[in-house]
Chains A and B, each alone.
Chain A
Amino acid sequence: DIQMTQSPSSLSASVGDRVTITCRASQGISTYLAWYQQKPGKLPTILIYAAYTLQSGVPSRFSGSGYGTDFTLTISGLQPEDFATYYCQEYKSAPFTFGPGTKVDIK
Chain B
Amino acid sequence: QVQLVESGGGVVQPGRSLRLSCAASGFIFSDHGMHWLRQAPGKGLEWVALISYEGSSKYYADSVKGRFTISRDNSKNTLYLEMNRLRAEETAVYYCAKVADSSGYSHYDLWGRGTLVSVSS
Contacts and interface: CB of A to CB of B under 8 A. Distances in A.
Interface of A: 1, 32, 34, 36, 38, 43-46, 49-50, 55, 85, 87, 89, 91-101
Interchain residue pairs A-B with the least CB separation, the first 8: A94-B59, A49-B107, A34-B107, A96-B47, A98-B45, A101-B44, A43-B111, A95-B61
Nearest to B44: A101
Contacts of B35: 96
15 contacts: A34-B107, A36-B108, A45-B111, A87-B45, A89-B45, A91-B105, A91-B106, A91-B107, A92-B105, A93-B105, A96-B35, A96-B50, A97-B47, A98-B46, A98-B47
Nearest to B103: A91
A36 B44 CA distance: 12
B87 interface: no
For the side of the interface on B, what is the size category?
A: 20 to 34
Contacts of B59: 94-95
B61 to A, nearest CB: 5
Given A36-B45, A44-B108, A95-B61, 13 more contacts: A1-B62, A36-B108, A38-B45, A43-B111, A44-B45, A49-B106, A85-B44, A87-B45, A89-B45, A89-B47, A94-B50, A98-B44, A101-B45
Contacts of B113: 43
Nearest to A43: B111
Interface string B3-44: 000000000000000000000000000000001000000001
Contact of A49 (B60, B61, B62, B100): B100
